[in-house]
Chain A
Amino acid sequence: NAGVTQTPKFQVLKTGQSMTLQCAQDMNHEYMSWYRQDPGMGLRLIHYSVGAGITDQGEVPNGYNVSRSTTEDFPLRLLSAAPSQTSVYFCASSYDPGISGNTIYFGEGSWLTVV
């Protein structure tokens, strides 16, 4: 059981480059989301999706794009990388998080450095 799989685990980008962080889950979860973790800032929600074809913005969406063409995959695109996007990125999934008792599962994280 793979759970939530993120790739790549580490990436160095130059300012202005674009890239996609991949996220896949094999638990048939409807809800998927992307967070970034920065020192002293906790986990901040970037974008989330409540099902295939549906996405919405979180707290810090600027500079990122998402799509949800399948239930399994939720890629996060950096359109033009900036040093401020240097962070650790976590993908998460769950059944409807609004229903109590549903655990949210996180991937292992993707370390991104923009130089």
Chain B
Amino acid sequence: DQQVKQNSPSLSVQEGRISILNCDYTNSMFDYFLWYKKYPAEGPTFLISISSIKDKNEDGRFTVFLNKSAKHLSLHIVPSQPGDSAVYFCAAIPNRDDKIIFGKGTRLHILP
């Protein structure tokens, strides 16, 4: 049973517009959430994170929103740039656990 779900395998967004990537989770004991970005032939790199005690975290063009009641988080990229084209992984860390659980990823295409 998949605990972290990214239901959109791909997403295309016009350059300059907002990109919204969604992630749902099933385990209410998740304590910490992260977003990773991955380019082809490279390892994933950390993008932004949010603790379960917060509902928003912002870092430059990237903002992550957490809705605990809906078990949903989203990553907003504003404005989208060509270099944002990559696969984005949502990940979660359960409370008092050391496992990091990743979603299947969403491939973001930024269109010129």
Residues in B with CB closer than 8 Å to A107 are 43
Given contacts A50-B98, A104-B34, contact A40 B104 (CB under 8 A): yes
Take A101-B49, A109-B41, A109-B43 as given contacts and tell me if A42 and B98 are in contact as well, using a CB distance cutoff of 8 Å.
Answer: no
Contact, CB under 8 Å: A42 / B46: no
CA separation between A43 and B99, bound complex, in Å?
12
Within 8 A of A (CB), among B57-112: 89, 91, 93, 95-105
Check A106 for interface membership: any CB of B closer than 8 A.
yes
Interface residues of chain B, those whose CB is within 8 Å of chain A, are 6, 9, 31-32, 34, 36, 41-46, 49, 51, 89, 91, 93, 95-105
Instruction: Given A98-B31, A100-B51, decide whether A58 and B99 contact each other with a Cβ distance below 8 A.
Output: yes
User: Are the C-beta atoms of A43 and B43 separated by less than 8 Å?
Assistant: no
The chain A residue with its CB closest to the CB of B51 is A100
Q: How far is the CB of A7 from chain B (nearest CB, A)?
A: 13
> Residue-by-residue, is A24-52 near B (CB-CB < 8 Å gives 1, otherwise 0)?
00000001010100001111110010100
Q: Inside 8 A of B42's CB, which chain A residues have their CB?
A: 108-109
CB <8 Å contact, B51 and A45: no
Cross-interface CB contact of B103 among A4, A42, A50, cutoff 8 Å: A42
Q: Is the CB of A48 within 8 A of B98?
A: yes
Interfacial chain A residues near B101, Cβ < 8 Å: 45
Contacts of B96 in A (CB 8 A): 98
Which residue in chain B gives the minimum CB-CB distance to A58?
A: B99
| 11 pairs, A vs B, C-beta closer than 8 Å | A42-B89, A43-B44, A45-B99, A58-B99, A98-B31, A98-B32, A100-B49, A103-B46, A103-B49, A105-B46, A109-B43
